Structure 1
Amino acid sequence: MDPALLRERELFKKRALSQPTVEKKVVPSESSGSKKKKSKGDKEVSSSKHGSDASNGNFNLKALTGSSGYKFGCLAKIVNYMKTRHQRGDTHHLTLDEILDETKLLDIGMKQKQWLMSEALASNPKIEVRDGKYAFKPKYHLKDKKALLRLLDKHDQLGLGGVLLDDVEEGLPNSAKALKVLGDQIIFVTRPDKKKILFYNDKHCQFTVDEEFTKLWRSIPVDSMDDEKIEDYLKRQGISSMQETGPKKVLPMKRKKPGGQKKRRFKTHNDHLAGVLEDYSEGVPAKK
Structure 2
Amino acid sequence: MDPALLKERAAFINRAKAQPAVEKRKHTDTSSHSSKKHKSSSSSKQKISNGASSAPKTPFDYKTSHGSSQYKFGILAKIVKYMKTRHQEGQSHGLTLDDILDETNQLDVPTKHRHWLLTEALKNNPKIKTLNFGNDQKFLFNPSYDIRDKKGLLNLLKKHDLHGLGGILQEDIEEALPRAEKCMKNLGDNIVYVQRPHDKKKVLFYNDKYCRYSVDEEFQKLWRGVSVEGMDERKIEEYLDKQGISSMQDVNIKKVVNMQKRRKGKKNNKFKKLNEHLDGVLQDYSDKQ
In the TM superposition, what whole-angstrom CA distance separates every residue of 1:136-163 from its partner, at most 9, and x where no partner exists? 1111111111111111122222222211
Q: CA deviation at 1:118?
A: 0.8
Structure 1 spans left out of the alignment, 5+ residues = 1-48, 51-61, 244-288
CA RMSD, 1 decimal:
2.7
> Quick check: 1:87–1:174 contact (8 Å CA) kept in 2?
yes
**Residue of structure 2 aligned with 1:172, choices 174, 177, 201:** 177
Cross-structure match for 2:71: 70
Kindly tell me: are residues 150 and 110 of structure 1, through their superposed partners in 2, closer, same or farther at Cα, counting changes over 3 Å?
Answer: same
Q: Quick one: distance in 2 between partners of 1:98 and 1:169?
A: 25
Tell me the CA shift for residue 207 of structure 1. Answer: 2.4
**Structure 1 residue 219 displacement after superposition:** 4.1
**Could you tell me whether the CA contact under 8 Å between 2:97 and 2:118 is conserved in 1?**
yes
Match of residue 216 from structure 1: 222
State the match for 1:130 in structure 2.
Answer: 131
Cα offset, 1:169, TM superposition: 0.6
- TM-score, scaled relative to structure 1: 0.57
For normalisation by structure 2, the TM-score amounts to 0.56
Q: Distance in 1 between matches of 2:222 and 2:159?
A: 34
**Alpha-carbon contact 2:169-2:204 (below 8 Å) kept:** yes
Question: Which position in structure 1 is the counterpart of 2:207?
Answer: 201
| Distance in structure 2 (CA, Å) of the matches to 1:110 and 1:221 | 73
Tell me how far apart the structure 2 counterparts of residues 151 and 184 of structure 1 sit (CA, whole Å).
16
List per-residue Cα deviations over 1:167-224 (Å, max 9, x = no partner).
0111001111111211222122222212111111222222222223323333443334
**Which residue of the other structure, out of 246, 263, 268, is the alignment partner of 1:237?**
246
Aligned to 1:144: 149
Give the alignment of 1:1-288 within 5 angstroms.
63-66=62-65, 67-131=68-132, 132-192=137-197, 193-227=199-233, 237=246
SS of match in other structure, 1:187: strand
Q: CA deviation at 1:242?
A: 9.8
| SS of the residue 1:148 aligns to | helix
Shift of 1:241: 8.2
Cα distance in 2, alignment partners of residues 214 and 111 from structure 1:
70
Aligned-residue sequence identity (percent) comes to 55
Per the TM alignment, residue 231 of structure 1 is displaced from its structure 2 partner at its CA by 7.7
- 1:14-50 CA-to-partner distances (Å, cap 9, x unmatched) read xxxxxxxxxxxxxxxxxxxxxxxxxxxxxxxxxxx77
Provide closer, same or farther for how the CA distance between residues 205 and 228 of structure 1 changes in structure 2, counting only shifts above 3 A: farther
* Structure 2 residues not aligned, in runs of 5+: 1-58, 253-289
Amino acid corresponding to residue 124 of structure 2 in structure 1? S
8 Å Cα contact 1:164/1:197 also seen in 2: yes
Counterpart residue type for residue 216 of structure 1: L
Bigger Rg over Cα: 2
Tell me if the contact between 1:164 and 1:198 (Cα under 8 Å) persists in the aligned partners: yes
1:90 match: secondary structure: coil
- Structure 2: how far apart are the matches of 1:87 and 1:242? 48
CA contact (8 A) 1:231 1:241 kept: no
SS at match of 1:122: helix
CA distance in structure 1 between the aligned counterparts of 2:89 and 2:234, rounded to whole angstroms: 52
Q: 1:196 to 1:240 in 2, by over 3 A?
A: farther
With over 3 angstroms needed to count, the CA separation of the structure-2 counterparts of 1:139 and 1:230, relative to structure 1, is farther
Question: Closer, same or farther in 2 for the Cα pair 1:180/1:216, shift >3 Å?
Answer: same
- The 1:237–1:173 alpha-carbon spacing in structure 2 relative to 1, beyond 3 Å, is same
- SS at 2:108's partner residue? coil
